[in-house]
Amino acid sequence: MRLLNLCHRATYIFVVLPNDDLLVQKRSNLKDYRPGYYDPTPGGVVGYGETYGVNAERELREEMGLSADLEGMFRFYYKDEGVDCWGAAYLTRYDGEIDDLELQEEEVSGVEAMSVDEILEREENGDKFTKDSTHAVRLYKQWKEDHKISSSSKIIRNVDTASYTLRSAPKAVFFDCDDCLYFDGWKVAQRLTDKIEEWCVEKKGLKPGEAYSLYKQWGTALLGLIKGGHLSTPSEIDSYLSDVHDVGVSNSLKPDIKLRELLLSLDPAIPKYVFTASVKSHAKACLEALGVADIFGDNIIDTKVCGLQTKHSKESFEKAMEYAGVGKEDVGGCVFFDDSVKNIRTAK
């Protein structure tokens, strides 16, 4: 099988220590495949008629003398010049001493504890690791993040663990502004609502509450006013947007150190945008009050950029991607944060 590089099944087991390090084997010099290499995932080739689970239990017991509960994680396909396989990844935990492990000398010459980042860094610096196993480690690192995200009921995330693959870095990250980058108990939102109501009643003679009904029907009061024939010229629209967003956000918003640290922790090579249904001036005022305006610069996508469309329509997202220079073929490379589940569903 190795000689002809035939496609096969294999198991990859992550043995996790209490500090989250992994047990990494040093392959015996007697091995025909990658002798003396580091292998961060005990496991092996699944035999004819053998299940992944039975194989994982057997390999862990034979190679390290461990009989432990295994948690199925994900399956993946991997191919290079020496390996062509479908792998099944499992996780188990070990809180004993490394010296207490019963190693199979024909398979394993030693075991070390390494963090995930150390494994990947050492491989990058030239240490010899089995490539299929370090690929599995990268998947494991991604899986941990996915697992953390999916544990929150507020996040919508679909992960195919039956055919798990590495995702490329995002092309762009989009953040909603109001009640997403900050939350002030809806104080700014209420002032915006009051301003819109006041403008619609005083300037357009609408009945009290009608502006909110337009918002509920069309996604923004602005679009409702346009659809209802209450706004038609660009100058009227600009006047409305300027008036209703003059709400003095500095009275409610203060510099947010944790928000700043979080944004700065993101990969600086990935462009970040504020994507708002309001106007650029309002978003800038919010960012300045929060102390993060320098992080975004002029990367603000407002309702004008989106042709006055709301986030209830796919057109607004297409406009946002176009502004960010992301092609439609790369839609999967966009990350979008919003406090509205409806908006997130439309983005998907």
- Nearest partner of 178 among 70, 337, 8, judged by Cα: 337
Do the beta carbons of residue 275 and residue 299 sit within 8 Å? Answer: no
pLDDT classification of 158: cutoffs 50, 70, 90: low
pLDDT classification of 157: cutoffs 50, 70, 90: low
The whole-number pLDDT of residue 80 equals 93
Output the average pLDDT for the chain: 92
Tokens of 25: 């084997």
Condensed to tens digits (0 to 9), the pLDDT of residues 62-79 reads 999 999 999 999 999 999
CA 150, CA 23: separation in Å to the nearest integer?
A: 26
- pLDDT of 286 > 60? The answer is yes
Q: How far is CA 17 from CA 63, 170, 282, in A?
A: 17, 31, 49
pLDDT classification of 251: cutoffs 50, 70, 90: confident
pLDDT classification of 200: cutoffs 50, 70, 90: very high
Average pLDDT score over residue span 167-182: 94
Condensed to tens digits (0 to 9), the pLDDT of residues 230-239 reads 998 999 999 9
Tokens of 64: 């390290």
pLDDT classification of 278: cutoffs 50, 70, 90: very high
Average pLDDT score over residue span 78-90: 95
Average pLDDT score over residue span 205-219: 91
Of all residues in the chain, what percent carry a pLDDT higher than 70?
A: 96
Q: Which of 114-118, 164-168, 177-181 has the lowest mean pLDDT?
A: 164-168
Contacts of 229 (CB under 8 A, 6+ apart): none
The whole-number pLDDT of residue 141 equals 95
The whole-number pLDDT of residue 4 equals 77
CA 157, CA 143: separation in Å to the nearest integer?
A: 12
Dihedral sign of CA atoms 202, 207, 210, 212 in order: positive
H helix intervals, 206-338 = 210-218, 221-227, 234-244, 257-265, 280-290, 293-296, 314-324
CA 103, CA 201: separation in Å to the nearest integer?
A: 80
Condensed to tens digits (0 to 9), the pLDDT of residues 105-140 reads 999 999 999 999 999 999 999 999 999 999 999 999
DSSP string, 149-204: HHTSTT------TTS--PPPPPSEEEE--TTTT--STTHHHHHHHHHHHHHHHHHH
**Residue 310 phi, psi (nearest 5):** -95, 170
The whole-number pLDDT of residue 168 equals 84
State the CB neighbour count (10 A cutoff) for residue 237: 17
Do the beta carbons of residue 112 and residue 99 sit within 8 Å? Answer: no
* Residue linked to tokens 């660009």: 234
Count Cβ atoms within 10 A of the Cβ of residue 32 and give its class: 0-12 exposed, 13-18 middle, 19 or more buried: exposed
- Nearest partner of 137 among 38, 52, 53, 41, judged by Cα: 41
Average pLDDT score over residue span 178-192: 94
Q: Greatest CA separation found in the chain?
A: 88
The whole-number pLDDT of residue 140 equals 97
The whole-number pLDDT of residue 153 equals 44
Give me the residues paired with residue 113 across strands. Answer: 23
Q: What is the pTM of this model?
A: 0.65
Tokens of 255: 């510099």
CA 183, CA 258: separation in Å to the nearest integer?
A: 13
Q: How far is CA 161 from CA 90, 156, 157, 322, 331, in A?
A: 12, 16, 12, 31, 21
